[in-house]
């Protein structure tokens, strides 16, 4: 699957592409308005990661152009502007999601995955991961077809891990994913530990392998 | 004391003194001239008598004339000295001007006395004095009137400008609307005021813009650093020490990015970017927040009691969210395990109190930026400033109370 990263900050663009590039994604990168317009005219992408402020024009105009051409590429806006109005505006003109800088790469990967899944299966989809089966519509999890009773947070956490398979996710990224950035409860990660402990216990109890590994107390990794 | 009260005091005093002095001088001058006139008349009379005596060798019969008396007295010893006298002793109490001179006839020496009444002269000087006094009073009156009416009207542009300036606020996007005036001094003043306030406003805007731009510009480097950290930790061969260092770096970046976001938020609130308000069902919003915080509280074993009444307030949607988040985060962050939080929502107020190990906050400084007395964890010291700022732009008041080791914040509207 091809992902286009339109971001004028080369370093950031490189990080995104390095993180996303795995067996699943092939990343292409453009750094300004005009070359991006050319790229989107010539190719179709599973998802486009789109910065708003670009040399030569606005990312939102690229978004409008995509919609004008009836392209079905998924679009994730990444912007330094975090007001509700900006988000609502971008979503209204057809963006699939909106992520505010600075973000965690696992968060970006999870959003890109979600967009691609939504596009590909029109919402009624499930993720199969060995013996794990996540039903994204019903928001439940089955191990060997037996339902596992997870709390909302545990389910979200599992989905987040599955979207970032074989990647180390920092505790900060998990906290921000689960609690949003408004809560200002950083510095206290005990509750993450509790959730992960419960999630692991429930999955193992249901007969799944122990996929979640702690990495030196700094983060966690879902190895498969 | 008003400028023109002071001015007219000095002015009036000077006018009075000058008029009194000139009236006095005038009086003496007129009197001198008039007496001189009378003296001349007396001299003419003397001449006539002497001529008569020379021709007839006898004293003329004194003819009774109004205001004039002539008498002769025999002088025994010597030829009397010629002299002018002003006296009241002639007739009744009227003042007279008298000329005495000696005259010889039939071998006898007489003292002739010619007296002229000064009544007319006195009347004249009196009228002059009266007129002078009347003039002084008239001038004083006019000058007072001018001060009261004319000066007031003349100074009006000054007071108008002053009133406009009083309402001027550097953070409001308003230009100073000074009334035009045809008086040079006031025009200069208005010009200077306009220039100064324009400049202040411009500097303020620049400063604000700078804060905003600086915060915006910081987002991208922060995003890069964060993404690089996210990439580095993928490295399987990181040692435990390196991992610890990475965690510290993560925490610092997190703190910085929150700080930056808070600053941006404050700037936006100040810029009135959240002016749009809606009817907010506060009870419902609080319930949603309580649900969101529930797990967190459970984890820390904080007992939460709430009593919520149906309340609708006029607030900005986004700010409501931020406000409640900040209040509840605040009550959570400064709490301890097995502590408590109490939330009371009534028709016109919201009370949130929490237990804490921290001592009473300094109510003078608590809302100042970066002045939090106890920086716990990732807290950046802007939380209370944000609460205050949101309350300020929303017309709410926020009060702090410390009692029984409970920190209580009360919002009322």
Cα separation, B38 vs B33, in Å, equals 9
Cα separation, B47 vs B74, in Å, equals 19
pLDDT digits (tens, 9 = 90+) for B197-248: 989 888 888 888 887 788 878 888 999 999 999 999 998 788 889 988 998 8
Residue A149 tokens read as 């009773």
Cβ–Cβ < 8 Å for A53, A8:
yes
Taking one residue from A and the other from B, the number of pairs with CB-CB distance under 8 angstroms is 128
Cα separation, B72 vs B185, in Å, equals 77
Using the beta-carbon criterion (under 8 Å), do B229 and A170 form an inter-chain contact? yes
Consecutive 10-residue averages of pLDDT for chain B (413 residues) = 78 84 85 88 88 85 78 76 78 78 82 84 82 84 82 85 86 79 89 90 85 82 93 88 90 86 85 85 93 83 92 91 90 88 93 88 76 51 86 91 90 92
| Average pLDDT of the residues of chain A | 88
Cα separation, A62 vs A59, in Å, equals 5
What's the pLDDT score for residue B371?
59
Using the beta-carbon criterion (under 8 Å), do B257 and A105 form an inter-chain contact? no
Contacts of B321 in chain A (CB under 8 A): 182
**pLDDT band of A187, cuts 50, 70, 90:** low
What's the pLDDT score for residue B95?
81
Using the beta-carbon criterion (under 8 Å), do B250 and A172 form an inter-chain contact? yes
**Total residues belonging to chain B:** 413
Cα separation, B341 vs B150, in Å, equals 68
Residue B357 tokens read as 């190990």
When pLDDT is averaged across residues A50-66 and rounded to a whole number, the result is 93
**pLDDT band of A186, cuts 50, 70, 90:** very low
Instruction: Sort residue A44 into left (φ over 0), alpha (ψ -120 to 50) or beta.
Output: beta
Residue B218 tokens read as 């910081």
CA distances from B134 to B84, B141, B142, B146 (A): 34, 10, 12, 18
Cβ–Cβ < 8 Å for B302, B341:
yes
Interface test with A, best of B225, B229, B230 (most A CBs within 10 A): B230
Cα separation, B97 vs B115, in Å, equals 5
Give, to the nearest 10 degrees, the angle between helix B152-166 and helix B184-232: 0
Cβ–Cβ < 8 Å for A10, A52:
no
What's the pLDDT score for residue B273?
80
Contacts of B326 in chain A (CB under 8 A): 184
Rounded to the nearest angstrom, the minimum Cα separation between B195 and chain A is 35
> Residue ranges of the domains in chain B?
3-135, 185-269, 274-412
Cα separation, A99 vs B219, in Å, equals 13
Residue A45 tokens read as 């992408």
What's the pLDDT score for residue B335?
87
pTM, whole model, 2 decimals? 0.69
**Which residue carries 């606005």 as its tokens?**
A58
Residue B67 tokens read as 């205001």
Q: Given a cut of 60, is residue A123 above it in pLDDT?
A: no
Of A12, A84, A185, the CB nearest to B333: A185
Of A18, A80, A218, the CB nearest to B233: A218
Rg (CA), chain A: 18
Cα separation, B387 vs B376, in Å, equals 18
Q: Given a cut of 90, is residue A95 above it in pLDDT?
A: yes
Torsion of CA B174, B179, B180, B185, to 10 degrees: -100
Residue B72 tokens read as 């002769």
- B353 three-class SS: strand
Q: Given a cut of 80, is residue A4 above it in pLDDT?
A: yes
The CA-based angle B391-B267-B225, given to 5 degrees, is 125
**Which residue carries 């206290």 as its tokens?**
A188
Domain formed by B274-412, architecture: 2-Layer Sandwich (3.30)
* DSSP 8-state symbol, B91: S
Contacts of B220 in chain A (CB under 8 A): 9, 12, 80, 101-102
Cβ–Cβ < 8 Å for B101, B112:
yes
Q: CB contact, 8 Å: A191 with chain B?
A: yes
Rounded to the nearest angstrom, the minimum Cα separation between A132 and chain B is 24
Cα separation, B58 vs B107, in Å, equals 10
Phi, psi of B245 (to 5 degrees): -65, -40
Give, to the nearest 10 degrees, the angle between helix A105-121 and helix B184-232: 80
Closest to A170 measured CA to CA, from B239, B256, B234, B238: B234
Cα separation, A63 vs A52, in Å, equals 9
Q: CB contact, 8 Å: B244 with chain A?
A: yes
Cβ–Cβ < 8 Å for B391, B398:
yes
Q: Give bridge partners of residue B108 from the DSSP assignment.
A: B105
Contacts of B258 in chain A (CB under 8 A): 181, 184, 186
Burial (Cβ within 10 Å: 0-12, 13-18, ≥19) of residue B46: middle
Q: Which of residues 95-114 of B touch A (CB under 8 A)?
A: none
Closest to A12 measured CA to CA, from B197, B286, B231: B231
Cα separation, B316 vs B339, in Å, equals 32
- B226 three-class SS: helix
Residue B8 tokens read as 């007219």
Using the beta-carbon criterion (under 8 Å), do A11 and B378 form an inter-chain contact? no
Of A12, A185, A187, the CB nearest to B251: A187
Q: Which of residues 198-237 of B touch A (CB under 8 A)?
A: 216, 219-220, 222-231, 233-234
Interface test with B, best of A29, A87, A186 (most B CBs within 10 A): A186
B-chain residue closest to A7, CA distance:
B220
Residue B128 tokens read as 């002059």
What's the pLDDT score for residue A195?
87
Of B250, B296, B376, the CB nearest to A170: B250
Q: Which domains does chain A possess? A: 2-121 (3.40.50.2300), 126-222 (1.10.10.10)
> What value of ipTM does the predicted structure carry?
0.89
**Which residue carries 């001592």 as its tokens?**
B359
Return all residues near A108 (Cβ < 8 A) that are at least 6 apart.
A16, A19, A20, A49, A76, A78, A99
* DSSP 8-state symbol, B238: -
Interface test with B, best of A184, A187, A197, A221 (most B CBs within 10 A): A184
Cα separation, B108 vs B130, in Å, equals 49
* DSSP 8-state symbol, B65: B
Q: CB contact, 8 Å: A182 with chain B?
A: yes
């Amino acid at each position: 699957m091809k992902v286009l990263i339109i971001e004028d900050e080369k370093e950031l663009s490189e990080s995104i592409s390095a993180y996303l590039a795995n067996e699943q994604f092939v990343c292409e990168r453009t750094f300004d308005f005009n070359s991006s317009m050319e790229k989107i005219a010539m190719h179709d992408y599973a998802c486009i990661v789109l910065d708003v402020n670009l040399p030569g024009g606005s990312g939102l105009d690229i978004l409008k152009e995509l919609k004008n051409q009836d392209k079905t590429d998924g679009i994730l806006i990444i912007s330094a502007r975090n007001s509700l109005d900006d988000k609502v505006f971008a979503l209204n003109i057809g963006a699939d999601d909106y992520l505010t800088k600075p973000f965690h790469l696992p968060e970006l990967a999870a959003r890109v995955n979600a967009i691609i899944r939504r596009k590909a299966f029109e919402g009624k989809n499930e993720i199969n991961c060995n013996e794990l089966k996540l039903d994204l519509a019903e928001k439940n999890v089955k191990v060997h077809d037996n339902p596992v009773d997870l709390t909302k947070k545990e389910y979200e956490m599992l989905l987040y891990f599955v979207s970032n398979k074989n990647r180390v996710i920092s505790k900060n990224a998990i906290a921000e994913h689960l609690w949003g950035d408004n809560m200002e409860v950083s510095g206290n990660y005990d509750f993450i530990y509790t959730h992960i402990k419960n999630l692991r216990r429930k999955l193992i109890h249901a007969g799944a392998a122990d996929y979640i590994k702690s990495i030196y107390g700094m983060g966690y990794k879902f190895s498969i | 004391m008003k400028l023109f009260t002071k001015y007219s005091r000095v002015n009036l005093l000077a006018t009075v003194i000058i008029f009194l002095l000139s009236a006095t001088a005038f009086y003496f001058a007129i009197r001198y001239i008039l007496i001189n006139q009378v003296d001349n008349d007396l001299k003419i009379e003397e001449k006539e008598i002497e001529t008569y005596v020379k021709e007839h060798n006898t004293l003329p019969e004194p003819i009774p004339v109004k205001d004039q008396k002539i008498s002769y007295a025999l002088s025994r010893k010597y030829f009397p000295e010629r002299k002018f006298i002003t006296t009241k002793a002639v007739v009744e109490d009227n003042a007279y001007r008298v000329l005495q001179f000696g005259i010889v006839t039939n071998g006898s020496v007489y003292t002739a006395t010619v007296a002229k009444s000064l009544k007319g002269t006195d009347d004249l000087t009196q009228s002059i004095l009266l007129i002078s006094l009347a003039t002084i009073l008239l001038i004083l009156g006019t000058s007072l009137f001018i001060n009261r009416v004319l000066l007031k009207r003349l100074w009006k542009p000054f007071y108008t400008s002053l009133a406009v300036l009083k309402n001027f606020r550097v953070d409001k996007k308003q230009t100073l609307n000074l009334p035009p005036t045809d008086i040079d001094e006031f025009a200069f003043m208005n010009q200077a005021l306009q220039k100064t306030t324009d400049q202040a406003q411009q500097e303020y805007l620049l400063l604000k813009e700078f804060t905003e731009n600086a915060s915006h510009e910081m987002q991208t480097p922060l995003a890069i650093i964060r993404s690089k950290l996210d990439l580095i930790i993928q490295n399987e061969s990181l040692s435990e020490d390196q991992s610890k260092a990475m965690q510290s770096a993560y925490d610092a970046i997190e703190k910085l990015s929150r700080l930056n976001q808070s600053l941006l938020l404050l700037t936006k609130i100040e810029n009135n970017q959240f002016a749009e308000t809606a009817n907010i069902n506060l009870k419902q919003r609080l319930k949603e927040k309580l649900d969101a915080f529930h797990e967190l509280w459970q984890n820390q074993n904080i007992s939460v009691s709430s009593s919520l009444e149906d309340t609708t307030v006029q607030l900005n949607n986004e700010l409501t969210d931020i406000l409640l988040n900040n209040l509840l985060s605040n009550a959570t962050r400064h709490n301890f395990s097995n502590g408590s939080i109490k939330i009371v929502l009534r028709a016109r107020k919201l009370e949130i109190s929490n237990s804490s190990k921290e001592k009473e906050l300094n109510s003078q400084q608590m809302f100042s930026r970066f002045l939090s007395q106890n920086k716990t964890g990732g807290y950046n010291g802007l939380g209370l400033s944000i609460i205050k700022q949101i309350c300020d732009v929303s017309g709410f008041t926020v009060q702090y109370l410390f009692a029984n080791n409970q920190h209580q914040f009360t919002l009322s509207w």
